[in-house]
């Protein structure tokens, strides 16, 4: 390995933010906060431990994920309820907002729509910030635990990874086979999960989630949503996942309708304006 003479000078160049968000359409949090004070519950779904469940939320309604019984991490998938090809885009959400998301930030959808699917309206773990290890909560860096990586690293057939849980839940919601449902399952928002990258090797790490029963993460549905949430077999993700070893608990999903008068000036975002000719 040859180290160039100006190596230090090259390393000393300051970074530039890839996607400055000053021009990103921002949610009207004042309006959403006002709407939040009028919420009426319209339904709920309980996600069993080491399993997943689906739920639907009309555009303009809210949904809330709550820790019940014990510290538990959830893996969330979102689709446009009217077109499963439009789904949560974890990578672009990360590029726009950073490695972890909280109140005031959004879950963005895949190309070509690239629009806000959901806006985070309340996060009871917002106080956590970033810890001394560089860890934070609700990441868009992990993918989801899955039986393929498990097979690669440990061998064996484990059927209750989040990937499989989400696949089974979506299959049963749509009345299709798991094999048909699987391609729709995508990289998740890791709800309540505490993660980061190690400073020395840059490896993805997890640590015991700070979530406690009663903690919530709340979302405003910007478009009609179909969601699926898996209660990860890793439980609070303090030790292992992809097995039945960790203590696991259910997660509660609740759907709420606001007083429509509070959203008089709100419009569901339209799909991205790029003309899709790609210069051809
Ligand atoms: Zn998982």
More confident: 260 or 236: 260
User: How many A from CA of 244 to the centre of ligand 1?
Assistant: 11
| pLDDT tens digits, 73-91 | 999 999 999 999 999 999 9
* 123-155 confidence digits (pLDDT tens): 999 999 999 999 999 999 999 999 999 999 999
Whole-number Cα distances in Å, 246 to 50, 81, 86, 119, 233: 10, 33, 33, 31, 7
pLDDT at 157 over 80: yes
CA of 279 to the centre of ligand 1 (A): 41
Look up the pTM and report it: 0.95
Residue 42 has pLDDT above 90, yes or no: yes
* pLDDT tops 80 at residue 234: yes
On whether residue 27 sits in a domain, the answer given is no
Residue 213 pLDDT class (50, 70, 90 cuts):
very high
Range of the domain at 178: 45-56+68-212+226-248
Residue 205 has pLDDT above 90, yes or no: yes
In a domain, 49, yes or no: yes
Q: What pLDDT is stored for residue 201 in this prediction? A: 95
How many structural domains is the chain composed of?
A: 1
**What's the gap in Å between 82 CA and the centre of ligand 1?**
26
- Distance (angstroms) between ligand 1 centre and the Cα of 5 equals 46
Report the separation in Å between the CA atom of 240 and the middle of ligand 1, taken as the mean of its atom positions.
10
Note whether residue 234 is domain-resident: yes
Examine residue 233 and state whether it is found in any structural domain, yes or no: yes
């Amino acid at each position: 390995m040859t180290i160039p003479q100006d190596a230090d000078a090259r390393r000393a160049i300051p970074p530039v933010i890839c996607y400055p968000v000053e021009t990103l359409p921002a949610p009207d949090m004042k309006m959403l906060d006002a709407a939040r004070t009028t919420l009426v519950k319209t339904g709920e779904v309980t996600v069993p431990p080491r399993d997943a469940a689906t739920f639907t939320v009309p555009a303009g309604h809210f949904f809330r994920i709550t820790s019940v019984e014990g510290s538990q991490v959830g893996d969330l998938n979102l689709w446009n309820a009217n077109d499963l090809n439009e789904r949560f885009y974890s990578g672009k959400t990360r590029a726009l907002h950073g490695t972890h998301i909280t109140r005031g930030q959004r879950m963005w959808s895949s190309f070509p729509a690239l629009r806000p699917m959901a806006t985070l309206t309340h996060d009871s773990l917002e106080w956590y910030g970033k810890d001394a290890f560089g860890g934070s909560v609700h990441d868009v860096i992990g993918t989801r635990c899955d039986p393929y990586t498990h097979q690669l690293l440990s061998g064996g057939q484990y059927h209750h990874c989040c990937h499989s849980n989400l696949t089974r839940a979506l299959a049963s919601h749509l009345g299709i086979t798991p094999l048909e449902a699987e391609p729709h399952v995508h990289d998740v928002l890791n709800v309540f999960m505490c993660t980061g990258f190690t400073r020395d090797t840059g490896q993805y790490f997890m640590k015991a989630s700070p979530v406690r029963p009663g903690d919530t993460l709340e979302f405003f549905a910007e478009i009609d949503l179909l969601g699926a949430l898996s209660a990860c077999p890793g439980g609070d993700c303090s030790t292992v996942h992809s097995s039945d070893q960790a203590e696991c608990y259910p997660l509660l999903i609740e759907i709420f309708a606001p007083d429509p008068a509070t959203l008089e000036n709100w419009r569901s975002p339209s799909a991205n304006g790029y003309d899709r000719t790609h210069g051809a």
